[in-house]
Structure 1
């Protein structure tokens, strides 16, 4: 089924494209502020279940068709597992030991996985400039997420920090906020890919609502058994922040993001998530007093460059081709041009 032209135009609106990542970045700040007064699994379930119910109520009001076949429910169940339970669970657990801004940057690993999978599974065009932008973004993520001592050692060709089996120690891995954030990014990547299969059997917005409810219920059950004092210490400000994270950072963000993923190029849509840490860092600096090192700011800058290159890769390729025509084609130039032409086919 071909997407409605009006829907495609909506998906190209700058405000519609940017809004989900503004809400996601600012909701990271709201969640980080509330984490000391609540528990991560409760926070994850509170984000998902009420937001899912709101989306499902909207689908009923709009009379959107509900899932009817077992295949639809199976795909929704898989969607709920990877993008509901796993993504939100890893995200909120990771926030305990990671700043809101840095956590948002680490979530930026998601477009790299989506680009590879979308190319392999759906034939989405990435192209030379797209891969270059993703690579720049990946370097930026590494500068933000890896310990600064490791980065400096790598730059000097010193791999001694790998000695001692750090990566093999469960106590280090399970309590690493950075690792949990990267696992959250991987889970979200799989969810972004899954929506292409889900929408073949059920409306994407309907599936989004159901996957939030079904993904949130196991997190709520785990919170009941493993956590305590989930709401005892929450202030009015905390509840306001949780409400914002649930309504804007989850219900609205999820609906808009997976709508975009269902009708647009997955690599381009996913790359826009590089905008999330900019909003997260700005508001975490204002409201939480979080600061970044010089190396992390370089990483943030590279992440921004990466998203600009990915989103504008067609325009850059076109301008590059015009420049090459003026300069004349050397063997290297010819190879680059051929690569770009192949990626557009």
Structure 2
């Protein structure tokens, strides 16, 4: 079985653990401070991989800058804003609903900017994916005390979706060539460039250097920053960005299942039904059309 066939399932599985990792990481470090350490570790490890493998770096200054700028959007601004918003009181359930905006934003932007055209069935799949997330997590959102949720933090979470959408489109348009390992290294340089000053200005940069911290860090770097992100870059380069982005729909329901397994949180009937709807939506968006087969 080829990497292209395995990549979607592996990406969703690895990326979904980011929600669980974030919950563990909050016990040991401030959110942005943890991301600074995670990004720095990813830069060092990716650079070591590139040196060992003799990877070719971009041949032009624009190639370097495109990779760095895409990292600012995809990791620095997107993940930094989401983690900060959750730290300010945005519940994971509500953040999951907001995350469902990304595939819809990406589909619209891809059509306008890079000329992607989705079939009616694929558009239906995107809509079903968002409906599935709503069914899965909306009951939890409705049970929340809305007054206690900072409106500015919710707005920041929404802005984060705009940045990750922009980063995905930017990646597809300007980084069509070059070794993905070199691209990933430079992307984390960009992420570090914006996250480090933000952590310095907004946090005490507190870290508890315990075994649990290092365990979460190792998984966050190797499993997510290196494994999941490399797969996402591969998916974006190999296919349509709308299809790759639709996989994000599977993350919140799968994260809810993982939370039930690791934290004992309730796995409700709406979560199960919503997950099934999401799976149908993602299948419709990503299924091969007759044109793809030809």
Q: Is the 8 A contact 2:33 2:205 kept in 1?
A: no
Q: Is the radius of gyration larger for structure 1 or structure 2?
A: 1
User: How many matched pairs?
Assistant: 289
2:105 aligned with 1:113 = yes
Q: Cα 1:130–1:264, aligned 2, differ >3 Å: closer, same or farther? A: same
SS at match of 1:228: coil
Partner of 1:148: 142
Q: Cα 1:126–1:312, aligned 2, differ >3 Å: closer, same or farther? A: same
C-alpha displacement of 1:243:
1.7
C-alpha displacement of 1:248:
0.6
Q: Is the 8 A contact 1:104 1:280 kept in 2?
A: no
2:164 aligned with 1:173 = no
Partner of 1:153: none
| TM superposition score normalised by structure 1 | 0.73
SS at match of 2:100: helix
Q: Give the one of 218, 228, 235 matched to 2:194.
A: 218
The CA distance in 2 between the partners of 1:59 and 1:229, in whole Å, is: 30
Higher mean Cα deviation, 185-194 or 296-305? 296-305
2:20 aligned with 1:20 = no
Q: Is the 8 A contact 1:86 1:184 kept in 2?
A: yes
Q: Cα 1:198–1:10, aligned 2, differ >3 Å: closer, same or farther? A: farther
- What RMSD in Å do the two structures reach over aligned CA positions? 3.1
The CA distance in 1 between the partners of 2:210 and 2:117, in whole Å, is: 48
| Superposition map of 1:280-291 within 5 A | 280-291=255-266
The CA distance in 1 between the partners of 2:94 and 2:210, in whole Å, is: 25
Q: Give the one of 120, 130, 135 matched to 2:122.
A: 130
C-alpha displacement of 1:22:
0.8
Partner of 1:91: 82
Query: Which runs of no fewer than 5 residues in structure 2 stay unpaired?
Result: none
Q: Cα 1:123–1:76, aligned 2, differ >3 Å: closer, same or farther? A: same
Q: Give the one of 22, 28, 39 matched to 1:37.
A: 28
The CA distance in 2 between the partners of 1:279 and 1:28, in whole Å, is: 10
2:67 aligned with 1:72 = no
Q: Cα 1:120–1:205, aligned 2, differ >3 Å: closer, same or farther? A: farther
2:216 aligned with 1:241 = yes
| Superposition map of 1:260-299 within 5 A | 260-291=235-266, 298-299=273-274
